[in-house]
Amino acid sequence: MGCLSETMNILAELQSRFAAALTDLAPDPQAYAAMVRPAQDARNGDYQANCAMPLARIVGAKPHDVAKTIIDRARLDDLCEPPTVAGPGFINLTLRREFLEHTLAAVAADRRFGAPAAESPKSIVVDFSSPNVAKPMHVGHLRSTVIGDALHRILEFAGHQVLSDNHVGDWGTQFGMILYGYKHFLDAEAYVADKVGELARLYRLVNQLCDCHDARESLPRLRAELEAATAKLPALEAAAGQDKAAQAALKKARAELDKQREELKTAERKVAAVEQDPAMRELADAHPGIARAARDETAKLHAGDPENRALWDEFLPACLGALQRLYDRLGIQFDHTLGESFYDPYLPEVVRQLASRGLAVESDGARCVFLEGRNAPFIVQKGDGAYTYATTDLATIEYRVKEFGAQIILYVVDARQSDHFEMLFETARRWGFADVECRHISFGMVLGEDGRPFKTRAGDTVGLESLLDEAIREARRIVDENDDSKRNEHDQPAPELDDAERAAVAEAVGLGGIKYADLRHNRESDYVFSWSKMLAKTGDTATYLQYAYARTRGILRKAEAAGAAAGTAPIAMAQPAERALALHICRFPEAVSAVAQEYRPNFLTQYLFELANSFSSFYDACPVMKEPDPAVRASRLRLVDLTGAVLKKGLSLLGIQACERM
């Protein structure tokens, strides 16, 4: 019982001991054993079991007595001090020092720091990033990219077989716009000089012209709607005296009115942007049917038109190359980049099968899947015969299951698409893919400090490339400032880093800052993007973790210079700071398995922040190289070495680099 070579996950070990003790006491021992948790408050010990209270209700006994019974039956004496019962029936557990030392030694000897391989490794596809290749990536792609990459790394580390797949948008309407732009507005010289840049310009241009025409067309309708809504307002106001329902209606009408005003303003702005620029205006006048024409280009591409197909073949590698450069900068790798175009040949068969099963039926000229409890249909083929991303997504599920043997598919996509994914998954189940577990790993928006979607001051979306540049530039400034202010013992300037190392540190700090700021938030919630917080020299940031790591390296350098090495000395933990640090190191497996279970990287960032925190306290309270007792010194040196290794591993699982010095 309790063979520790099997698990260095203390929490899991405790839970299994409790499960054994609960076999005759509880209907579902596992569920009650799961109520063993890390103690919320260190005063209550290291871990606590909360199962006695709910169990007492079932058995009809006093919680306190149930807790006593559990304690009597649980065999914990090799792990814990004698457990105590507190409050209404909490069981408090304090780990024995010998056990901690033993576990720590095992963690230290393990290349995976005690993180167990998954009991039943799954074949997992992580679908993330998924930008449109026709336009440059912007800040909106950040979360999917960063969270997806972290999940890829962590799940793989947790022992699963993981494939990352970038489901790029390389087949949609944006390509029609580029094709149209290429044929009508190409700047040949610019195209030769910077293919992707010119294509992006063409996309923006055509998109803007389409928007303008579209907006101009909708202006009368928008104005009429606004007028009608405004006209209705007085009646609503009059009716809203006492009646609650009427008041609610009034408020809703006002909100609706605001929305309509906004919409009208946006449309007017789009029109004005073109009309105030004579050159643009001329273009707009010369291409009145541009939106339709661009759609036709898309249709021709899909239909196999040789010219468009040849252009697409020419554009795509350049676009993918540009994306790849960005991913290289970010240190992100995909096992596959199978975009929408890849699935095009499969689409007719998907619809045919859905139709033959009676799942897809015709409605208003389109083929739709109607799902119980929903008004909106899942459209798999449009009235004009074109397929939608719903169809592509279905084909993609089929492919991933059949070709990759996917058992789990994770879609790291923003929360706004949750309806789509619910319908997609339901349709896939009914189509015959009931065994694959599809999960929408949804995340919230990145907001600016004004609480609105993150934009530049001018109101444009922020390009990802320039975001990275700015972060690194700012990081470099901080690195310079910090290194320049270093002093030697005579209080003279003593910078440590040469230009190349400063650049490397700035890169790690800048990119790490961006990634960490994203990952440390619960992915489900929106978060406010803040330059100052992201690269702050204080607080819960990547820099703090990187700095803690650099400090571990500093001590080890010093030790090396003195001819000492971390070695394999026994680790003792006499000081509270030593014990706290040691315990925290031992919890690494818990953090990894928590992330793998819930797909929440913030569990790992939180763990690492606390680890760095424990280390900083230890650093302050427990000198290493100045410690006179050689045994204590050797023990602390190992603790430092191990802390550094876990920090570095943890950061790497988040896609963040650690620096030797900074």
Q: Which stretch binds RNA (CB under 7 A): 110-118, 179-187, 194-202, 594-602?
A: 594-602
Q: How far apart are CA 108 and CA 462, in angstroms?
A: 44
# residues near RNA by CB under 7 A: 110
Q: Give the closest residue to 502 by CA, choosing from 486, 481, 523, 485.
A: 481
Q: Which is nearer to RNA, 43 or 457 (CB)?
A: 43
Q: Which is nearer to RNA, 111 or 244 (CB)?
A: 244
Query: Which residues lie below 8 Å from residue 322, measured CB to CB, with a gap of 6+?
Result: 136, 196
φ and ψ of 369, to 5 deg: -105, 125
Rounded alpha-carbon distances, angstroms, from residue 30 to 17, 350, 398? 10, 42, 35
Give yes or no for a contact between 339 and 395, defined as CB atoms under 8 angstroms apart: no
Strand order through the sheet with 366-369: 360-363, 366-369, 378-381
Decide if residue 575 touches RNA (CB under 7 A).
Answer: no
Q: Which is nearer to RNA, 5 or 40 (CB)?
A: 40
Q: How far apart are CA 594 and CA 602, in angstroms?
A: 10
Choose which of 621, 629, 630, 631 interacts with RNA (CB under 7 A): 621
**Binding to RNA (CB under 7 A): which residues in 412-471?**
415-420, 444-445, 447, 451
- State the SS3 of 551-588: HHHHHHHHHHHCCCCCCCCCCCCCCHHHHHHHHHHHCH
Choose which of 467, 619, 641, 653 interacts with RNA (CB under 7 A): 619
Give yes or no for a contact between 71 and 80, defined as CB atoms under 8 angstroms apart: no
Over the window 508 to 547, marking each residue x when it contacts RNA by CB under 7 A and - when it does not, the resulting string is -x----------xxx-xxxxx-x--x--xxxxx--xx--x
Taking the complex as a whole, the smallest distance from the CB of residue 415 to RNA amounts, in Å, to 7
Choose which of 26, 478, 514, 583 interacts with RNA (CB under 7 A): 478
**Binding to RNA (CB under 7 A): which residues in 57-76?**
57, 63
Decide if residue 86 touches RNA (CB under 7 A).
Answer: yes
Taking the complex as a whole, the smallest distance from the CB of residue 417 to RNA amounts, in Å, to 5
Share in percent of the chain as helix, strand, coil (round to 5):
60, 10, 30
Choose which of 299, 371, 565, 594 interacts with RNA (CB under 7 A): 594
Give yes or no for a contact between 35 and 50, defined as CB atoms under 8 angstroms apart: yes
Q: Which is nearer to RNA, 21 or 55 (CB)?
A: 55
**Binding to RNA (CB under 7 A): which residues in 345-374?**
363-366, 368
Taking the complex as a whole, the smallest distance from the CB of residue 173 to RNA amounts, in Å, to 5
Q: Which is nearer to RNA, 7 or 482 (CB)?
A: 482
Decide if residue 479 touches RNA (CB under 7 A).
Answer: yes
Taking the complex as a whole, the smallest distance from the CB of residue 492 to RNA amounts, in Å, to 13
- Between helices 173-185 and 290-303, what is the axis angle to 10°? 110
Choose which of 27, 88, 289, 495 interacts with RNA (CB under 7 A): 88
Q: Which is nearer to RNA, 99 or 618 (CB)?
A: 618
Decide if residue 490 touches RNA (CB under 7 A).
Answer: no
Q: Which stretch binds RNA (CB under 7 A): 134-142, 330-338, 454-462, 622-630?
A: 622-630
Q: Which is nearer to RNA, 330 or 380 (CB)?
A: 380
Query: Which residues lie below 8 Å from residue 83, measured CB to CB, with a gap of 6+?
Result: 49, 71, 74, 76, 91, 92, 93
